[in-house]
Chains A and B, each alone.
Chain A
Amino acid sequence: MKTVELRTPLDEKQISSLESGDKVYLSGEINTARDAAHKRLVALIEEGKELPFDLQGAVIYYVGPAPSKPGQVINSAGPTTSYRMDSFTPLLLERGLKGTIGKGPRSMKVRDSMVKNGGVYFAAVGGAAAGIASTVKAAEVIAYDDLGPEAIRRLVVERMPLFVVNDTSGNDLFEAGVAEYRREE
Chain B
Amino acid sequence: MRELDVARITEAVKDLSIRTNIYLPDDVKKALRESLEREESPLGREILQVILDNHDIAEKEKMPICQDTGAAIVFLEVGQEVHLIGGAPEDAVNEGVRQGYREAHLRKSMVADPVLKRKNTGDNTPAIIYTRIVPGDKVKIIFAPKGGGAENMSEVRMMTAADGIEGIKDFVVDRVSRSGGNPCPPIVVGVGIGGCFERSALLAKEALMRTIGEPNPDPDFDEVEKELLRRINNLGIGPQGLGGRTTALAVHIKTVPCHIASMPVAVNIQCHVSRHGETIL
Chain B 53-74 near chain A by CB (<8 Å), digits 1 or 0? 1100110010111111100000
Partner of B108, one of A125, A149, A174: A149
**Is B68 a contact of A64 with CB atoms below 8 Å?**
yes
Whether the pair B63, A163 counts as a contact (CB closer than 8 A) is no
A4–B269 alpha-carbon span in the complex (Å): 34
Interface segment out of the listed A6-14, A44-52, A110-118, A130-138: A130-138
Instruction: Tell me which of B54, B181, B244, B272 contacts A104 (CB under 8 A).
Output: B181
A24 within 8 A of B: no
Docked-complex contact B53 and A76, CB < 8 angstroms: no
- CB pair A183–B236 under 8 Å, yes or no, is yes
B84 at the A/B interface (Cβ < 8 Å)? Answer: no
Question: Which of A69, A76, A80, A181 makes the CB contact (< 8 A) with B41?
Answer: A181
B108 touching A148 by the CB < 8 A rule?
Answer: yes
* In the assembled complex, A88 has its CB within 8 A of some CB on chain B: no
Asked if B234 contacts A105 (CB within 8 A), the reply is no
| Cβ-based interface call for B118 (8 A) | yes
Given contacts A83-B182, A149-B108, contact A129 B241 (CB under 8 A): no
A181 touches B40 (CB 8 A): yes
Residue interface bits A71-98, CB-to-B below 8 A is 1, else 0:
0000111101101000000000000000
> Which of A130, A131, A148, A185 is B120 in contact with, Cβ under 8 Å?
A148
Q: Does A123 contact B (CB under 8 A)?
A: yes
Contact residues in A for B50 (Cβ distance below 8 Å):
125, 128, 131, 161
A161 to B49, CA, bound (A): 13
Asked if A65 is at the interface (CB within 8 A of a chain B CB), the reply is yes
Contacts of A129 in B (CB 8 A): 54, 58, 63-68
Number of A-B contacts (CB under 8 A): 164
Contact B242 A177 (CB under 8 A): yes
Q: Is the CB of A123 within 8 A of B67?
A: no
Q: Is B79 an interface residue when CB atoms closer than 8 A count as contact?
A: no
Q: Is the interface of B mostly helix, strand, loop or mixed?
A: loop
B185 to chain A, nearest CB (A): 9
Q: Indicate whether A120 reaches chain B with its CB closer than 8 angstroms.
A: no
- Is the beta-carbon distance between B51 and A176 smaller than 8 angstroms? no
- Chain B residues 20 to 70 lying within 8 A of chain A, measured CB to CB, are 40-41, 43-44, 47, 50-51, 53-54, 57-58, 61, 63-69
Cα separation A130 to B58 with both chains bound (whole Å): 6
Cβ contacts A145-156/B at 8 Å (1 or 0 each): 001110000000
Once bound together, how far apart are the Cα atoms of A185 and B51, in whole Å? Answer: 29
Contact indicator B57/A131 (Cβ below 8 Å): yes
Complex Cα spacing A173 to B67, Å:
25
A108 within 8 A of B: no
Pick 13 A–B contacts, CB within 8 A, sort by A: A63-B67, A64-B109, A66-B63, A81-B149, A103-B181, A105-B241, A129-B63, A130-B58, A173-B242, A174-B180, A178-B235, A178-B237, A182-B236
Which 5 interchain pairs have the tightest Cβ spacing?
A: A177-B243, A182-B236, A181-B236, A126-B184, A104-B182
Residues on A facing B (Cβ under 8 Å)? 21, 36, 63-69, 75-78, 80-81, 83, 103-105, 123, 125-131, 133-134, 147-149, 161, 163, 165, 173-174, 176-185
